[in-house]
Structure 1
């Protein structure tokens, strides 16, 4: 029998952590490993970052992180 569990992720903290590590591109697999979760959950986290404007889909399973300067420039 499978057990389901819901997790909560602070996507802003995840974004900051990835940016501070110097990563520009991030994959579903990277996030999956970092959060110790499956690829579907990781892809949902990345999709949420994209909705919030912190990432853009680059190719299948790969996202490019938006830098802080671009975020500030897009607010005005």
Structure 2
């Protein structure tokens, strides 16, 4: 399929890297870091929150929580200029 890109993100690794660098992150920071839309970045942060890696601090910012255990992957599909959340793969 032309224009389709699949990216898999290890959320545990992403959260660990973010936690080492700073205590709070915004949706726009994650969007820039991952090269995705702010909507998709918000979904990534919401998933980190549901897994216990982050806590919502304000409308667009999240507090990163101390190290944790467990792993999950988040699959994103980028179709041309639009990026959409597809599903979470549990291992």
Task: Please name the residue that 2:41 is paired with.
Answer: 42
Higher strand share: 2
Q: Higher relative CO (CA 8 A, sep ≥ 6), structure 1 or 2?
A: 2
Query: Mind listing any 5+ residue stretches in structure 2 that lack a counterpart?
Result: 70-91
Aligned length: 67
RMSD: 1.7
Higher helix share: 1
Task: Please name the residue that 2:66 is paired with.
Answer: 67
Query: Are positions 1:7 and 2:2 aligned together?
Result: no
Query: Mind listing any 5+ residue stretches in structure 1 that lack a counterpart?
Result: none
